Every structure is written in structure tokens, then in C-alpha cells.
Amino acid sequence: MRNNYVIFKIPSLSINESFARSAVAAFCSILNPTIGEINDIKTAVSEAVTNAVIHGYENSVGDIEISCKIKGQMVEIIVEDFGCGILDVEKAKEPLYTTKPELERSGMGFAVMESYMDEVVILSEKDVGTKVIMRKKISER
């Protein structure tokens, strides 16, 4: 199969999280993933988009860009905001760490992404934004 990709933008509104999750799942379906694989991808995308909505723009609305690329059986999903950035990525990756305890956030977003995807890379810069790159190899059936 030839390399394939899709890129789309959504406003950082929580109501758009389910659309993003479903759109990515629909795109990945061309690889005929298992139910488990598609659920892993949907969960990871949900976490990445939710992080961008809650933390990316600090009480304002901005763009979240989502891109998906397929190369062979590998899916690469990038969720990027152009907001405030993460000051300490390593600290943010620690399970149960949250900067918004008043919102009853569990601080498990990055840990969940890492458990469901084969690879997760987080690139962030203060006042520039955050890019979450997730990769998963889909089994051949």
C-alpha cells in the first residue's frame, strides 16, 4: 500500500474530542486493525486531545491540529496545540501528576497514551505549544 495521510484542525473544545477520536479510528480502519488495536488508538487520541483542550490554551480556545500517516502497517498520529507548552515534560509524564487538581484530573493522560501505543514522543516549548507523536504497528491479518 502506498503511504497515506490525513490532516485536520479542530477548535480546542471538549465537544470535539469524540470527533477527533472517531476520525482517526476511521482513517486507521483501512489497515483492518483488531478491535483491541482500534480501541487502543481511540483511547490514546482521546487522552492527547483532552490534554490539549484542558492544558493547551489556559482558559481560551485555539487550534488543535491532528495528523495521521500510514506507512506500511505503522500508524503515526500527531496531536499538536499551539498554546502555552509544558514546562517540564518529564514531570508531566509521571503518573498522577496534574497541574489542575481542582478539575479532578487524574494525571494519567501520558501514562495511558504510553500504555496503548508502541511509541509516544512529547515535544513542547513554553509559549509555542505541544506536539504529541504516537506510533502503533497494526498487525497484519
| Count of structural domains, the chain | 1
Range of the domain at 48: 4-137
17, 37, 47, 80: which one is catalytic?
47
105, 114, 125, 141: which one is catalytic?
105
Predicted pLDDT at 78: 99
Predicted pLDDT at 1: 53
Predicted pLDDT at 93: 78
For the question of residue 51 being annotated catalytic, the response is: yes
Predicted pLDDT at 126: 94
Closest CA to 68 of 53, 78, 54: 78
How many whole angstroms separate alpha carbon 140 and alpha carbon 119?
Answer: 19
Predicted pLDDT at 94: 72
All three cell numbers of 141 = 491479518
Q: What is the pTM of this model?
A: 0.91
Residue ranges of the chain with per-residue pLDDT less than 70? 1-2, 96-106
Q: Residues 73-102: pLDDT tens digits?
A: 999 999 999 999 988 888 777 776 666 666
For the question of residue 47 being annotated catalytic, the response is: yes
51, 59, 80, 114: which one is catalytic?
51
Measure CA 77 to chain center: 7
Predicted pLDDT at 22: 98
All three cell numbers of 100 = 489542575
State the CATH number of the domain containing residue 79: 3.30.565.10
Across-strand partners of 5? Answer: 69
Contacts of 37 (CB under 8 A, 6+ apart): 136, 138, 139
